[in-house]
Amino acid sequence: MRETEKIWMNGELVDWADATIHVGSHGLHYGSGVFEGIRCYETPRGPAVFRLTDHLVRLRNSARLLYMDIPYGVEELRAATLELIGANGLPECYLRPLAFYGYGELGVSAGSNPVETVIMSWPWGAYLGEEGQREGIRAKISSWQRVGPNVIPHVAKATGIYLNSMLAVSEANRAGYDEAILLTAEGYVADGSGENIFAVKDGTIYTPALSTSILPGITRDTIVQIAQDLGYRVVEANLIRSDLLLSDEVFMTGTAAEVTPLRSIDDIELGVGPVTLEIQGAYLDTVRGRSERWAHWLEYAAPATAGA
């Protein structure tokens, strides 16, 4: 991780090195936190955060599912995020808001612990590599099942749930693959360790429904709308692994991963196809402020320079 100057912590900007917590913090012991991953892009009108408010609303909803009251509202966190971007002065960055139960009682029940709220920002390039984004990555179906809706609410972007992702991606990496695809207990395709998944077959685009233990990805929602606007039929479907293996194209989406093609799954070659490349191009045009159609998704960090 490349260090930046400041971190926003509980209402103020502190130096990177000073953003520390006690080892007795609840969130460290039990994974009791919620977080977001957001990207700020350089655009012709200055740095713009992609769908910032939507991400912060998801953060609030994630907290609600963990009985957690974040002491800052969406509007306050929005202002804090923009302030941090200004303070660190990077044209592009990844943003990581995080709220977790802090130091107080130990023991699983977190009722009386304070909630700590932070926002970090740092430069983060292509999540699955520049080459992966261009030439596609090699994925493996995981032996680990995606956490089910009655295990941990998968619509919450909760820190503890990421042990599931960590195991899956570690298994895949150790076996020589770039990324894992997790299935539900019933065998339906859910998502990647940090991405949603799409399959293209005979010109139609398929993606697992929100009920299939997936994170309701903001990039997923973006891609559905962009693809429909480009004239594609997008269908939410229960997909099994062979649906992926017999698709014409498969790609993954996420804030960090953007749109990344899967060139093979379990060593069955798929290659990188034209629909994926068209959608990838349209997505990058959108986040980089080159599309009027979706301009409302960009939240500018420095309104003073807007239109300059």
Closest CA to 6 of 79, 86, 66, 88: 88
Please identify, using beta-carbon distances, which residue of 113 and 177 lies nearer to ligand PPE. Answer: 177
Beta bridge partners of 300: 48
CA distances from 109 to 52, 70, 100, 105, 115 (A): 31, 17, 13, 9, 13
Residues 251-270, interacting with ligand PPE (CB under 6 A)? 253-257
Least distance in angstroms from the C-beta of 8 to ligand PPE: 18
The 3-state DSSP class for residue 178 equals coil
Within 13 A of 193's CA, how many CA atoms are on the CB side?
24
Least distance in angstroms from the C-beta of 107 to ligand PPE: 28
User: Nearest to ligand PPE by Cβ — which residue?
Assistant: 37
Residues 202-241, interacting with ligand PPE (CB under 6 A)? 215, 217-220
User: Which stretch, 2-10, 97-105, 190-198, 260-268, contacts ligand PPE (CB under 6 A)?
Assistant: 190-198
The angle that helices 218-229 and 52-65 make with each other, rounded to 10 degrees, is: 140
Please identify, using beta-carbon distances, which residue of 255 and 276 lies nearer to ligand PPE. Answer: 255
Identity of residue 270: L
Q: Which of 116, 178, 195, 299 binds ligand PPE (CB under 6 A)?
A: 195
Residues 149-168, interacting with ligand PPE (CB under 6 A)? 165
The 3-state DSSP class for residue 25 equals coil
The 8-class DSSP code of residue 244 comes to H
Q: Which of 191, 198, 280, 301 binds ligand PPE (CB under 6 A)?
A: 191
Helix (H) or strand (E) holding 65: helix 52-65
The verdict on whether 157 is a catalytic residue reads yes
Least distance in angstroms from the C-beta of 218 to ligand PPE: 4
Least distance in angstroms from the C-beta of 258 to ligand PPE: 9
| Rounded Cα gap, residues 157 and 100, in angstroms | 12
Total residues binding ligand PPE (CB under 6 A): 16
The residues assigned a catalytic role are 157
Q: Contact residues for ligand PPE (CB under 6 A)?
A: 37, 165, 191, 194-196, 215, 217-220, 253-257
